[in-house]
């Protein structure tokens, strides 16, 4: 009983102190995470003014649960499909920051005399910005809807995955105490194998489970089931030799793909906050003022490295990705801090015994100080950009400010690139599933069968095991070998267009599939049967069962694949049907200097009450109005004769600078409206010779009366947003149209 009371006393001390301190921090408009850290410092063993904890080791266990919930919640905001959509800009930026700061951290650690492992862990801690702090700062400063934030959020998504992978690699290195290339490669392959396996199995089972129970499941059951799945994946991850944080992150990302993902994220928020508070309080308890005073020089050095290094590498990465200097500077200055992953990696290094005790509070101090400075760096980005615009040579400034656009529309991707992508998307999951079945058969089925059915003899048991394994493999073998879906369409199209010599790579791709399928079959046969007998049985089985099971394989593999694809697309389809047009346009125009805002017309606007034909939208402002919402009326692609009245809500499309200028013209305090669900889409396509648009200008094509509008033309390396009415469209140009889907089809 006393032990239980001690735990209750410790929790009471933690939560009361955290509650009081966070109230103060909220009044000061500071992040709550900092309040938790300060509260932990006050009740920790190093401050001494307040009563200390009676069982710190119990609180450490609770903080581990806090890490699990933090990574679970992060996974719910992540999703693997979101990683595929972030675009090359985010990938290039994240890679630049990671490698730049990792190398810088190792160099700085070496200069300060740290050990080899300490330098490696330092590089990892300095290479991750704080998602939580950046999102809160964007909200506080009203920047969340700005175009450059898409690059920042995409970069943070990639960094989250890099951090999870880094934790696995650092654990491997810490155990071996050396950098072994082969061992690291095996760790990466093992991680990739389990990630794909969990994703494929999870995407097949979990959405199906929620779909079956949707009608009878209430919020309480949803929370219990979600948390249970989270801890189940944690158990699987630890059994596979990974960290509990990885398991929580993976399950969160799987649940994020379900229709209930956002609901789950909202439902577990209070649980995450509860255990997250314990984790961050425990972080504060590790802060020793004496160590901070003693090691103030390393703290100061690391702060300078973070606030200079991350903006420098982030800005460079965004520029290399083809974005303009303005977006690059704003993106770089937004990421000048380290956050929660620095704590987690530091905790990992400390628990593995590869870091000195003083490094943990040093890293916490650096994170706290850079968190405080984050909003100020975001505000400094505009003055710094102004200095660059004045100091840089005009030609250099013009080159850096050019938005080259790193994203390419699917229509411009070559058929071969699409085919290879579709090929890998099919091959990797099927091969992982087949390998998993083979391993499960060897590890579980083989010993189980020989132990339980010893009376029928080892040869008979081996034959039964081989048949059972091949039957389980059969739909996956068939699905891998037989072309279907988008891959089949692309394969057949290229086959028809290729010469006999050009079909060589297609033969090679098909041959590789058949070779791998045969290799898996032979692996099963050679494990359970003697080679000679195995070959005879294999040939006889294939000859006898081919005609009988072909249709069955087809149905089984098609059903499995259809269910998987349906689960994958369910959330995207739901969001597409319910997404506002502003979201649709932003996603389609990702990688371009495009800004989409829904604004309210102020009564002070000098053109209020006039026809659109009398408002110099393109000439003076460089924007287009693609929709007017007036009460219950919605006017898509308004004509020049349409009026613009005060209180109208309008959807404006243009470059970031142009839209910002137009917002100021509307009113000094313009209201940005929320929500929008009308049937207006954005599409891009390449103008073919003989097309309705080829050789014509906007003046010659009456698009508005058809219900759509041209907002951009991509020609070679140049992108023309809001082109002039007399610009001639040429075959090979990629055009961007906004409007009703039926109207856009007229010009494709």
- Edge-first strand listing for the sheet containing 623-630: 595-600, 649-654, 623-630, 633-636
Q: Token pair of 344, please?
A: 């987690």
Whether residue 411 is predicted with pLDDT greater than 60 in this model: the reply is no
Q: Residues 365, 298: contact at Cβ < 8 Å?
A: no
Contacts 24+ apart (CB under 8 A), 132-136: 132/31, 132/33, 132/339, 132/340, 133/31, 133/33, 133/337, 133/339, 133/371, 133/374, 134/334, 134/335, 134/337, 134/374, 136/31
- Per-residue pLDDT, 593: 55
Q: How many distinct helices (H) and strands (E) make up the chain?
A: 28, 10
Confidence grade of residue 401 (pLDDT, cut at 50, 70, 90): confident
Helix (H), strand (E), coil (C) string for 68-84: HHHHHHHHHHHCHHHHH
- Per-residue pLDDT, 624: 82
For strands 649-654 and 595-600, give the pairing.
antiparallel
Give the mean pLDDT of 138-146: 68
**Torsion over CA: 484, 486, 487, 489 (sign):** positive
Whether residue 639 is predicted with pLDDT greater than 70 in this model: the reply is yes
Whether residue 539 is predicted with pLDDT greater than 60 in this model: the reply is no
In the block, residue with structure tokens 């613009």: 644
Share of the chain above pLDDT 90, in %: 2
**Torsion over CA: 278, 280, 284, 287 (sign):** positive
Whether residue 673 is predicted with pLDDT greater than 50 in this model: the reply is no
Q: Tell me the pLDDT tens digit for each residue of 499-526.
A: 666 667 777 877 788 777 777 877 787 7
Q: Residues 10, 59: contact at Cβ < 8 Å?
A: yes
Phi, psi (rounded to 5 degrees) for 86: -70, -20
- Per-residue pLDDT, 302: 92
DSSP-derived secondary structure letter, 360: H
Confidence grade of residue 150 (pLDDT, cut at 50, 70, 90): confident
d(CA 128, CA 145): 23
| Cβ-based neighbours of 368, under 8 Å, separated by 6 or more | 34, 37
**Torsion over CA: 440, 442, 448, 449 (sign):** positive
Whether residue 345 is predicted with pLDDT greater than 60 in this model: the reply is yes
Whether residue 383 is predicted with pLDDT greater than 80 in this model: the reply is yes
Q: Is 147 helix (H, G, I), strand (E, B) or coil?
A: coil
Whether residue 559 is predicted with pLDDT greater than 50 in this model: the reply is yes
Give the dihedral of Cα atoms 703, 589, 669, 619; nearest 10 deg: -40
- Per-residue pLDDT, 570: 61
Q: Token pair of 9, please?
A: 């006393």
**Which residues, in sequence order, are bridge partners of residue 719?**
714
> Angle at the Cα of 646 (from 640 to 649), degrees rounded to 5?
75
Whether residue 550 is predicted with pLDDT greater than 60 in this model: the reply is no
Whether residue 671 is predicted with pLDDT greater than 50 in this model: the reply is no
| Cβ-based neighbours of 540, under 8 Å, separated by 6 or more | none
- Per-residue pLDDT, 474: 78
Quote the crossing angle between the two packed helices 87-111 and 296-320, to the nearest 10°.
150
Whether residue 575 is predicted with pLDDT greater than 60 in this model: the reply is no
Share of the chain above pLDDT 70, in %: 77
Q: Is 738 helix (H, G, I), strand (E, B) or coil?
A: strand
Whether residue 681 is predicted with pLDDT greater than 50 in this model: the reply is yes
**Torsion over CA: 499, 500, 504, 507 (sign):** positive
Q: Is 163 helix (H, G, I), strand (E, B) or coil?
A: helix
d(CA 81, CA 157): 11
- Per-residue pLDDT, 605: 78
Confidence grade of residue 300 (pLDDT, cut at 50, 70, 90): very high
Whether residue 209 is predicted with pLDDT greater than 70 in this model: the reply is yes
- Per-residue pLDDT, 542: 59
d(CA 98, CA 123): 9
Q: Tell me the pLDDT tens digit for each residue of 73-123.
A: 878 877 666 666 556 778 888 888 988 888 898 888 888 888 888 888 888
d(CA 721, CA 154): 23
- Per-residue pLDDT, 308: 92
- Per-residue pLDDT, 168: 77
Q: Is 359 helix (H, G, I), strand (E, B) or coil?
A: helix
For the chain, the average pLDDT equals: 76
Nearest to 597 by CA among 581, 610, 617: 581
Q: Tell me the pLDDT tens digit for each residue of 717-726.
A: 566 777 777 7
Q: Tell me the pLDDT tens digit for each residue of 11-20.
A: 888 888 888 8
Q: Tell me the pLDDT tens digit for each residue of 40-71.
A: 888 877 776 667 666 666 667 777 788 888 88
- Per-residue pLDDT, 305: 92
d(CA 243, CA 233): 11
In the block, residue with structure tokens 């990705």: 321
Q: Is 520 helix (H, G, I), strand (E, B) or coil?
A: helix
Phi, psi (rounded to 5 degrees) for 355: -125, 145
DSSP-derived secondary structure letter, 709: E
Q: Residues 262, 73: contact at Cβ < 8 Å?
A: no
Burial bucket for residue 117 (CB in 10 Å: 0-12, 13-18, 19+):
buried
- Per-residue pLDDT, 526: 76
d(CA 220, CA 215): 14
Give the mean pLDDT of 623-646: 79
d(CA 580, CA 681): 9
- Per-residue pLDDT, 21: 87
d(CA 405, CA 534): 57
Q: Token pair of 716, please?
A: 């070679």
Q: Residues 732, 686: contact at Cβ < 8 Å?
A: yes
Q: Domains, the chain, ranges and CATH?
A: 2-381 (1.20.1530.20), 411-578 (no CATH), 581-745 (3.30.70.1450)
Confidence grade of residue 615 (pLDDT, cut at 50, 70, 90): confident
Whether residue 184 is predicted with pLDDT greater than 70 in this model: the reply is no
- Per-residue pLDDT, 413: 45
- Per-residue pLDDT, 223: 86
Burial bucket for residue 568 (CB in 10 Å: 0-12, 13-18, 19+):
middle
Q: Residues 282, 40: contact at Cβ < 8 Å?
A: yes
Phi, psi (rounded to 5 degrees) for 540: -65, -40
Strands (E), 637-706: 643-644, 649-654, 681-686
Whether residue 551 is predicted with pLDDT greater than 50 in this model: the reply is no
Q: Tell me the pLDDT tens digit for each residue of 433-457.
A: 888 888 888 888 888 887 887 777 7
- Per-residue pLDDT, 342: 83
**Torsion over CA: 608, 610, 613, 614 (sign):** negative
- Per-residue pLDDT, 84: 60
Quote the crossing angle between the two packed helices 181-213 and 531-578, to the nearest 10°.
60
Q: Token pair of 313, please?
A: 């590498």
Buried b (16+ CB within 10 A) or exposed e, 677-704: eeebbbbbbebeeebebeeeebeeeebb
- Per-residue pLDDT, 414: 59
Residue 87 CA, chain-centre distance (Å), reads: 10
Give the mean pLDDT of 226-253: 85
- Per-residue pLDDT, 319: 85
Confidence grade of residue 163 (pLDDT, cut at 50, 70, 90): confident
Confidence grade of residue 220 (pLDDT, cut at 50, 70, 90): confident
d(CA 11, CA 22): 16
Instruction: Give the CA distances from residue 519 to residues 138, 434, 522, in Å, rounded to whole numbers and listed in that order.
Output: 53, 11, 5
- Per-residue pLDDT, 586: 52
Q: Residues 238, 247: contact at Cβ < 8 Å?
A: yes
- Per-residue pLDDT, 523: 78
């Amino acid at each position: 009983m006393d032990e239980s009371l001690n735990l209750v006393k410790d929790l009471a001390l933690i939560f009361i102190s955290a509650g009081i301190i966070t109230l103060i921090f909220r009044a000061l408009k500071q992040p709550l995470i900092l309040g938790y850290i300060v509260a932990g410092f006050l009740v920790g063993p190093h401050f001494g003014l307040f009563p200390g904890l009676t069982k710190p080791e119990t609180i450490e266990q609770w903080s581990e649960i806090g890490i699990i919930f933090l990574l679970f919640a992060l996974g719910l905001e992540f999703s693997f499909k979101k990683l595929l959509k972030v675009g090359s800009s985010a990938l290039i930026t994240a890679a630049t920051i990671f490698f730049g700061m990792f190398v810088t951290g190792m160099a700085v650690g070496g200069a300060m005399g740290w050990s080899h492992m300490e330098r490696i862990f330092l590089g990892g801690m300095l290479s991750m910005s704080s998602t939580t702090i950046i999102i809160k700062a964007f909200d506080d400063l009203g920047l969340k809807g700005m175009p450059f934030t898409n690059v920042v959020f995409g970069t943070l998504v990639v960094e989250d995955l890099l951090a999870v992978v880094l934790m696995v690699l650092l654990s491997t290195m810490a155990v071996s105490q050396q950098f072994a290339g082969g061992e690291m490669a095996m760790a990466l392959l093992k991680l990739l194998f389990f990630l794909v396996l969990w994703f494929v199995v999870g995407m097949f089972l979990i959405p199906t489970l929620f779909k079956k129970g949707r009608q009878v499941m209430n919020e309480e059951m949803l929370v219990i089931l979600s948390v249970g799945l989270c801890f189940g994946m944690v158990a699987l991850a630890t059994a596979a030799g990974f960290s509990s944080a990885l398991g929580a992150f993976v399950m969160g990302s799987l649940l994020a793909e379900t229709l209930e993902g956002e609901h789950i994220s909202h439902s577990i928020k209070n649980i995450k906050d509860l255990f997250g508070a314990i984790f961050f309080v425990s972080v504060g308890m590790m802060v020793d003022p004496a160590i901070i005073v003693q090691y103030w020089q390393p703290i100061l050095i690391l702060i300078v490295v973070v606030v200079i290094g991350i903006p420098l590498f982030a800005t460079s990465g965004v520029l290399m990705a083809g974005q303009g200097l303005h977006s690059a500077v704003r993106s770089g200055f937004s990421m000048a801090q380290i956050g929660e992953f620095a704590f987690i990696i530091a905790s990992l290094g400390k628990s593995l015994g590869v870091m000195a005790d003083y490094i943990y509070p040093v890293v916490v101090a650096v994170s706290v100080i850079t968190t405080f400075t984050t909003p100020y760096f975001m505000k400094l980005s505009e003055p710094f950009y102004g200095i660059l615009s004045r100091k840089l040579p005009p030609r250099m400034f013009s080159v850096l400010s050019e938005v080259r656009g790193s994203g390419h529309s699917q229509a411009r991707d070559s058929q071969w690139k699409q085919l290879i992508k579709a090929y890998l998307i099919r091959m990797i999951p099927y091969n992982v599933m087949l390998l998993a079945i083979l391993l499960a058969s060897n590890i579980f089925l083989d010993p189980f069968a020989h132990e339980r059915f010893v009376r029928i003899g080892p040869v008979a048991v081996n034959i039964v095991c081989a048949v059972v394994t091949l039957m389980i493999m059969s739909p996956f073998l068939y699905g891998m070998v037989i072309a279907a879906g988008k891959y089949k369409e692309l394969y057949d199209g290229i086959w028809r267009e290729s010469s006999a010599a050009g079909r060589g790579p297609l033969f090679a791709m098909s041959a590789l599939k058949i070779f791998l399928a045969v290799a898996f079959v032979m692996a099963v046969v050679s494990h359970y049967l003697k080679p000679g007998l195995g070959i005879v049985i294999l040939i006889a089985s294939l000859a006898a069962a081919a005609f009988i099971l072909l249709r069955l394989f087809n149905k089984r593999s098609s059903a499995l694949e259809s269910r998987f694809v349906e689960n994958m697309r369910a959330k995207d389809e739901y969001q597409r049907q319910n997404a506002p047009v502003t979201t649709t346009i932003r996603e389609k125009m990702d990688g371009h200097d495009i800004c989409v805002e829904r604004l309210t017309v102020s009564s002070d606007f000098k053109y209020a009450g006039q026809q659109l034909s009398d408002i110099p939208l393109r000439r003076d402002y460089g924007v287009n109005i693609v929709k007017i919402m007036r009460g219950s009326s919605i006017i898509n692609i308004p004509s020049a004769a349409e009026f613009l009245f005060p209180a109208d809500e309008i959807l404006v499309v243009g470059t970031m600078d142009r839209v910002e200028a137009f917002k100021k013209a509307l009113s000094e305090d313009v209201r940005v409206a929320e929500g929008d669900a009308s049937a207006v889409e954005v599409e891009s396509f390449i103008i073919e010779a003989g097309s309705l648009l080829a050789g014509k200008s906007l003046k010659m094509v009456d698009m508005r009366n058809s219900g759509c509008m041209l907002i951009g033309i991509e020609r070679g390396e140049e992108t023309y947003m809001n082109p002039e009415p007399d610009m001639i469209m040429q075959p090979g140009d990629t055009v961007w149209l906004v409007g009703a889907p039926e109207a856009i089809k007229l010009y494709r």
